[in-house]
Amino acid sequence: SVPATADGAITALLRADLRGEKPYGAPQLDVPVRLNTNESSYPVPPAVVAEITAAVAAVAPDLNRYPDREFTELRTALAAYLSSSGTAIDPAQVWAGNGSNEVLQHVVLAFGGPGRTALGFTPAYSMHPIISGSVGSTWVDGLRGQGGTPFDLTVESAVAQVRAHDPHVVFLCSPNNPTGTALGLDVVEAVYAAAERAVVVVDEAYEEFARPGRPSALTLLAGRPRLVVTRTMSKAFAFAGGRLGYLAADPALVDALRLVRLPYHLSAPTQAIALAALRHAPEMLATVEVIKEQRDRIVVGLAELGLDPVASDANFVLFGGLDDAPQTWRELLDRGVLVRDVGIPHYLRVTAGTPAETGAFLAAMAQVARPEQ
């Protein structure tokens, strides 16, 4: 929240639409089992650490100069990584920033803003409304669960809401945080067609964890110049501290983002370490399958406790059926396990960690779980 001063002078100076707003604030607590921000629990492998260190050493003497403003080499490497999924992506279709949060901000800076509307379907990633609002866009909280199952987003419901609000930016999140489930491409296609004047963003931060048969929206980019697919190295790539997020879109849309980025926004060390990590993509992604196994183990384990886990295509599980979610959150913390209270009554979200962390979480849950009556 806004820092309090004796006379509220700063609050009086603040933009009216920011007064009383809360900053993003997932707790960063030093406890044994940290499963609250969907990071990877696995450290960077030693061989990659060595290459990252060498890469930083190589750019250090030139830090007197600004870095490559167009991050050409990095863009080429990201395009090659995306293309390895089977959909050819050209470097001119790629943009990057310090985390996908920054590329999302670039999109709303260019296509949202004062007098413009951004629509998302709640619950989804909590930064979509914060980033949209921070640049002055009007946020519209769209609804999920209109198809009869909790948190679903049907074609009919999504299209009706897009038509009702005629937004300038639409956020879809697939696999969705915090619910975990991927959207069908039919929803993306229908939203794109209905949102005639909008840039449609599909936030695919967790795409590498999706279950088979849930293709990426990258496959829809051809012929859709208003479609944007965002990705990150923070999750499956186990590189959250490296701060590198990116997107793929039509080259003309990417070009427009140059108007709103700050010059040289990707530092030389950032570009160098991301390139080093991308050169080792298979090693960096090696734990994805283990994490998916732990995710599925969590779903089974929580169901056995009489709780209500949501099927997940991500590296986390949202689970419901709790009598008092904030109380369960505290009792887990007392046992050294930090999970996320995403503010949905009776639900908590847990990241799939190592097998040992998952075991610790499930053991603690067996002690504290009090299913809803």
**Nearest approach, Cβ of residue 325 and ligand PMP (Å):** 19
Of 173, 218, 236, 352, the one binding ligand PMP (CB under 6 A) is: 173
For residue 245, list its beta bridge partners.
97, 232
* Interface with ligand PMP (CB under 6 A), residue from 36, 41, 100, 161: 100
Among 234, 271, 315, 328, the residue binding ligand PMP under the rule CB under 6 A is 234
Q: Which amino acid is at 131?
A: I
Nearest to 106 by CA among 253, 274, 268: 253
The end-to-end CA distance of the chain, in Å, is 35
In degrees and rounded to multiples of 5, residue 299 shows phi and psi of -60, -45
Nearer residue to ligand PMP within complex by CB, 38 or 271? 38
Residues 118-137, interacting with ligand PMP (CB under 6 A): 125
Residues in the interface with ligand PMP (CB under 6 A) total 13
Binds ligand PMP (CB under 6 A): choice among 44, 48, 74, 99: 99
Query: Strands of 308-309's sheet, edge to edge?
Result: 308-309, 316-320, 348-351
Phi, psi of 91 (to 5 degrees): -55, -30
**128 versus 226: smaller Cβ distance to ligand PMP:** 128
Could you say whether residue 177 binds ligand PMP (CB under 6 A)? Answer: yes
Closest CA to 143 of 130, 133, 156: 156
Which phi and psi angles does 98 have, rounded to 5°? Answer: -80, 80
Q: Confirm or reject binding of residue 36 to ligand PMP (CB under 6 A).
A: no
Report the residue number whose CB is nearest to ligand PMP. Answer: 99
User: Of the candidates 75, 91, 136, which has an alpha carbon nearest to the alpha carbon of residue 260?
Assistant: 136
Helix (H, G, I), strand (E, B) or coil at 138: strand
Closer by beta carbon to ligand PMP, 245 or else 320: 245
Task: Determine if 271 is a binding residue for ligand PMP (CB under 6 A).
Answer: no
325 binds ligand PMP (CB under 6 A): no
Residue closer to ligand PMP, measured from CB, 173 or 229: 173
In the chain, the amino acid numbered 235 is K
Figure out which of the listed residues 162, 205, 249, 254 binds ligand PMP, where binding follows CB under 6 A. 205
Name the one range near ligand PMP by CB under 6 A: 75-83, 99-107, 265-273, 340-348: 99-107
Q: Which of 33, 35, 38, 167 binds ligand PMP (CB under 6 A)?
A: 38
Question: Is 101 a residue that touches ligand PMP (CB under 6 A)?
Answer: yes
Q: Is 351 in the site for ligand PMP (CB under 6 A)?
A: no
Comparison of 130 and 305: residue with beta carbon closer to ligand PMP: 130
What's the min distance (Å) between Cβ of 28 and ligand PMP?
13
* Among candidate residues 277, 315, 244, 314, the one with its CA nearest the CA of residue 94: 244
How far is residue 119's CA from residue 199's CA, in Å, rounded to a whole number? Answer: 11
Return the residues of window 245-264 that contact ligand PMP according to CB under 6 A: 245
State the Cα–Cα distance between residues 262 and 65, nearest whole angstrom: 16
Instruction: Tell me if 338 sits within 8 A of 363, measured CB to CB.
Output: no
- Sheet of 245-249: strand order equals 94-97, 245-249, 227-232, 199-203, 169-173, 117-122, 138-143
- By CB under 6 A, is residue 203 in contact with ligand PMP? yes
Q: From residue 132 to residue 171, what is the string marking binding to ligand PMP with x (rule CB under 6 A)?
A: ----------------------------------------
Please answer whether residues 147 and 121 qualify as being in contact, where contact means their C-beta atoms are separated by less than 8 angstroms: no
Q: How far is the CB of 81 from ligand PMP (least distance, A)?
A: 15
Q: In terms of CB distance, is 121 or 125 closer to ligand PMP? A: 125
Residue 167 CB, nearest approach to ligand PMP (Å): 19
Burial of 247 (0-12, 13-18, 19+ CB in 10 A): buried
Q: How many helices (H) and strands (E) does the chain have?
A: 13, 12
Distance from C-alpha of 186 to C-alpha of 165, rounded to nearest angstrom: 20
Stretch that binds ligand PMP, among 76-84, 97-105, 151-159, 350-358 (CB under 6 A): 97-105
**Contacts to ligand PMP by CB under 6 A:** 38, 99-101, 125, 173, 177, 203, 205, 232, 234, 240, 245
